[in-house]
Amino acid sequence: MRANLLTGNITGTLVKMTVPMVFGIVSLMLFNLVDSYFVSQLGTDELAALGFTFPVSFAVISLSIGLSVGTSATLAKLIGAGEHQQAKQLTTDNLLLTSILMLLVSSIATQFIDPLFRLLGANSTLLPFIDAYMSVWFVGAVFYVIIMVSNSSLRAYGDTTTPGVIMAFSAILNGILDPLFIFGWGPVPAFGIEGAAIASLLAWGITASLALFNLLLRKRLLLLTIVSWSSCVGHWLMVMRIGFPAALSNMMTPLAAAIMTAVVAEHGAEAVAAFGVGSRLESLALIVNLALSMTLPPFLSQNFGRGSIDRVAKAYRGAMKFALLWQAVVYLILWMFGSGIGGLFSDKPEVVDLIGLWIMIVPIGFGFQAVTFLSASSFNALHQPFKAMRISIFRLFILYVPLGCAGNYLLGLEGMFYGFVIANMLTACLAFFWVRKHLSGLHTSQLPDSP
């Protein structure tokens, strides 16, 4: 189902687009949880090896997110301007060069698995498991990125239902294939940790084929011709102008998290365990606004391309109000059930108490955090990727890490958690007024010249 982004009711359109993406994001989360669950049954070494792969796999995922953001923003602007044929050509060119790029990245990365993971601290016991997993995973990553870029192309046209179904199908297929290839069954041998990568490769490969089939034959958004290689490269650079800064912004988040985890580690293993649980709760608590951050940009970009700045401004204001209200409701729910949530993750009183402390403080800032990343997404949608990146840098390395460290120095973990809240509040205020100022400037530039 394709929503009407240019003339439809703003609130209704965004709701219609966002709900399917919530289920899609949940599916992606389950994809990773299922892998971890089945691999954990192989043993501690295998699970530790899988843990070492996360920084590298997240780098590839960040690249795919960046390409998706660039694709969605560029395509949606062309569609809003009525340039549908060029939009189809850009969709085709972008998928072609993205596939070539990922083939090159995967081919090169496969040759450096051992030295790369030795650099990350993996020992000789874990390296065989890592090598077996990543040598297959890098091949599958090509299909994963194709899926992400295909889905972002559909979102640019206002279709979020199909991407949601595609992501859910991929997760279900992976869940079925994981135990089959990890533990073996009938004629299929047990591949161990390599089986988890084989399952991902097959799930992504089949899903990518279906996504491309959908784009080509059902949606008719792909062309079977290339105008010229120079035009192809030009289109790809248009996408990367937004995609590259967006990818860098995504890579900053785990870096900041790693720094703060190292600080938390000073308080002992219980604190690290509680902080890890908090990170997982954060993803769940923000899931609706994370989905909105994927559906708001196509709406803004299409209307931006058409010159409907009033609709852009109204949608942005509405999204900010919703983000604050929704996260306030989520905080109340967490506050009401906070004492019992910790017990779901640990039976150690120290860990349960620290999870409770995290729940009482950190989620206060989630509404402001949502305003921040929605504002960054809005800047990407308005083809201002470096402003979006500056918001991320300001939040993480000017406020979040320094205030968290200062709070930890003064008041321990409680002070650190309050530091996170203050950082999110200050960044949200800055981001909101910066986007409003930019939109005001766009609106003024459209006014007719005075006589």
Residue-level pLDDT at 245: 92
Rounded to an integer, what distance in angstroms lies between the CA atom of residue 146 and that of residue 163?
12
Q: What pLDDT sits at residue 27?
A: 80
The separation between CA 224 and the C-alpha centre of its own chain, rounded to angstroms, equals 30
pLDDT at position 97: 84
Structure confidence at residue 446 as a pLDDT band (50, 70, 90)? low
Rounded alpha-carbon distances, angstroms, from residue 212 to 96, 106, 146, 155: 11, 20, 8, 14
Q: What's residue 20's pLDDT?
A: 86
How many other C-beta atoms lie within 10 A of the C-beta of residue 87? 23
Contact 408, 419 (CB under 8 A): yes
Per-residue pLDDT for 451 more than 50? no
Which carries the bigger pLDDT value, residue 30 or residue 256?
A: 256
User: Where is 391: in which H helix or E strand?
Assistant: helix 385-393
Quick: pLDDT tens for 58-93: 778 888 888 888 889 999 999 888 898 888 898 888
Q: Is the pLDDT confidence value at 3 over 70?
A: no
| Least confident among 23-32, 89-98, 195-204, 332-341 | 23-32
Q: How confident is the model at residue 2 (pLDDT cuts 50, 70, 90)?
A: low
94 pLDDT more than 80: yes
- How far apart, in Å, are the Cα atoms of 292 and each of 27, 132, 318, 347? 16, 37, 11, 35
Question: Would you state the pLDDT for residue 450?
Answer: 35
In percent, the amount of the chain with pLDDT more than 70 equals 98
pLDDT digits (tens, 9 = 90+) for 168-188: 899 899 999 999 999 998 888
Q: Give the tens place of pLDDT for each residue, 277-309.
A: 788 788 889 999 999 998 999 999 999 999 999
Q: Which of 232, 306, 243 is nearest to 62 (CA)?
A: 243
Question: Cα–Cα distances in Å, from 312 out to 70, 152, 317, 374?
Answer: 18, 19, 9, 13
Residue type, 253: T
pLDDT one-digit tens code per residue, 118-141 = 887 778 888 899 899 999 999 999
Per the model's pLDDT, the better-predicted residue between 27 and 188 turns out to be: 188
DSSP single-letter state for residue 450? P
Terminal CA-CA length for the chain = 46
Treating both helix axes as pointing N-terminal to C-terminal, what angle do 161-183 and 193-213 enclose, rounded to 10 degrees?
150
Residue 2 pairs with which residues in a beta bridge? 159
Structure tokens that stand for 245 in this block: 């800064």
Question: Which one is predicted more confidently, 47 or 423?
Answer: 423
φ, ψ (nearest 5 deg) of residue 427 = -65, -40
Structure token digits, residue 285: 């608590």
CB 265 within 8 A of CB 272: yes
Cα–Cα distance, 324 to 366 (Å, whole number): 8
**Residue 32 confidence (pLDDT) above 60:** yes
Q: What is the pLDDT of residues 329-372, one digit of tens each?
A: 999 999 888 778 878 777 788 888 988 999 999 999 999 999 99
**Domain residue spans in the chain?**
10-225, 257-441
CA dihedral 390, 391, 395, 396 (to 10 degrees): -50
> Mean per-residue pLDDT for 189-199?
93
pTM of the model: 0.86
Count of CB atoms within 10 A of residue 39's CB?
23
Placement of tokens 């939009």 in the chain? 87
Distance, in Å, from the CA atom of 166 to the CA atom of 151, rounded to the nearest integer, reads 8
- How far lies 89's CA from each of 29, 85, 224, 226, 285, in Å? 32, 6, 9, 8, 38
* CA-angle at 67, arms to 65 and 70, nearest 5°: 110
376-400: per-residue pLDDT in tens?
A: 999 999 999 999 999 999 999 999 9
Interval 234-252 mean pLDDT: 87
> Can you tell me the distance from the alpha carbon of 351 to that of 277, in angstroms, rounded to the nearest whole number?
10
Contact criterion met (CB below 8 Å) for 317 and 10:
no
**Residue 301: DSSP 8-state:** H
